[in-house]
Amino acid sequence: MIYLGPGGLPTITKGDTIQGLKDLKSIGLNFMELEFVHSVYLKKEKALEIGKFAKELGIGLSIHAPYYINFGNPEKFPSSKKRILDSCEIGHHLGAKYIVFHPAFYGKFDKDAVYKMVLRNCLDMQDIILKNGWNVILGMEATGKRSQFGTLDELVRLSGETKVCQPVIDFSHIYARQGGHINYTEVLDKVKSFNHLHCHFSNIEFTEAGERRHLPLGTAGPDFKELAKEIVKRGLDITIICETPLLEQDSLKMKRIFEELGGALQGLK
């Protein structure tokens, strides 16, 4: 099953999230990631309304938690956990399973020390998530800068030591971090134990330090069609969030590529 849509409201939307969902349905997409870039701006009542409407339309939802998160700095632990847990609570009311976040920067610590700090904080949050019965997954995003914690190997290892954590595969970040190279077969083999994959895709500009900025589909690497071939061949249950500057336009290009390869979006023809 394939779920596909933009990270944020469609650019054609003139209104709120409810209108954005209507617009997505009208153009034939079936997923949207809500962007809590600066703050968790939704309240419970509105989240329940949006979640109910999205379910009626057959559109899936996820959340990208605020960017001000860093489990590589002990001073930031309390505020980072609060931002993620607030996102988890709203995500539960929305019916948004994946709560995506960038885990940490290495900063002045070595990689093993940062791994232990991220793990400790994820276990702390896990206790609260399970205690509250929130139906969410902590989606740790593969990061695009070499100064950041979040290689795919780190995230797969961490997910094995927790109950509610899973890697979010950002193919463009992996490509940028590896200096303009990605082996889709190798990446997908590393996460083949997961029943569902939540992913991000964009073309990307990068430097020696890693990602610089996202670019429209087809203007640079990585190659989306090669990824789509691998997804269809494996029959993956997968969500792909388009993060190019052309959110719904490039989502629709991705959809057409899947259709040409014999794949179809879940619930849509």
β-bridge pairing 148-149 and 104-105: antiparallel
Assigned domain for 60 exists: yes
pTM for this model (two decimals) = 0.96
191 inside domain: yes
Taking only the tens place, the pLDDT of each residue in 129-175 is 999 999 999 999 999 999 999 999 999 999 999 999 999 999 999 99
User: Residue 241: inside a domain, yes or no?
Assistant: yes
Q: Is residue 268 part of a domain?
A: no
- How many contiguous H segments (helices) and E segments (strands) does the chain have? 9, 12
Rg (CA), the chain: 18
Mean pLDDT along residues 206-220: 96
Query: Does residue 131 fall inside a structural domain?
Result: yes
82, with CB counted inside 10 A (0-12, 13-18, 19+), is middle
Residue 138 sits in a domain of what CATH number? 3.20.20.150
Is residue 266, in this structure, part of any structural domain at all?
Answer: no
Residue 174 lies in a domain: yes
Tally of domains within the chain: 1
Boundaries of domain holding 73: 2-260
Structure confidence by residue, pLDDT tens digits, 85-136: 999 999 999 999 999 999 999 999 999 999 999 999 999 999 999 999 999 9
Confidence of residue 239 (pLDDT cuts 50, 70, 90): very high
Q: Is residue 269 predicted with pLDDT exceeding 50?
A: no
In a domain? residue 210: yes
